[in-house]
Amino acid sequence: MCLFLFKGGSGTSSRIVSVDTNQYTVGAFVQGNFGGRKDLTIAGVPVGRELTSAKPIITTKEKDGSIIVVIATDAPLLPMQLKQIAKRASLGVARTGGIGRNSSGDIFLAFSTKTPTLNEQETLETWQSIPKDQMDVLYEAAVQATEEAIINALMAAETMEGINGNTLYEIPKTELKSLLQKYNRYKK
């Protein structure tokens, strides 16, 4: 998994949101394998342009890559609402610098763990859903969790050498910290 030409892979993140008096969790799981180095953005800082060390060793032709994002929530949502939540994953990807290149294979899914209630005879299901005009907090949580899950995948990855000497380096954390401090995005 090559993520912005650093070692990538799997990452997770979540947010807790409130709708009326109810709290819900929105979680994102990503499998990231995309992006050019110059595109990487963290906390609005174009760090990929400035991180010049740890260049990968790639002996095969580079491809555009892909990302899979699965968003899970316990909020009561209907299938069409979940489709809208899944679409918000692309905004989280974009916030890290991903642009969905021509041959990129991006997959975004969302599901809710909330189940319908059954009557005593189990012959009638009753579904609940959050009203459309209350969805914005869930959309925002999906975007933020996706963005953070991608960054978490970068931060957790370790340098790896593969077949034919192909080597992907972990993101240089000390250099990254200095860059974020330079742009006032990291507090000591």
CA torsion 50-185-157-154 (nearest 10°) is -70
98/14 Cα distance (integer angstroms): 20
| Catalytic residue list | 66, 104, 106
| Strand pairing category for 65-73 and 105-112 | parallel
Give the amino acid at 12.
T
Tokens of 53: 């060390």
CA torsion 82-132-100-170 (nearest 10°) is -70
65/110 Cα distance (integer angstroms): 21
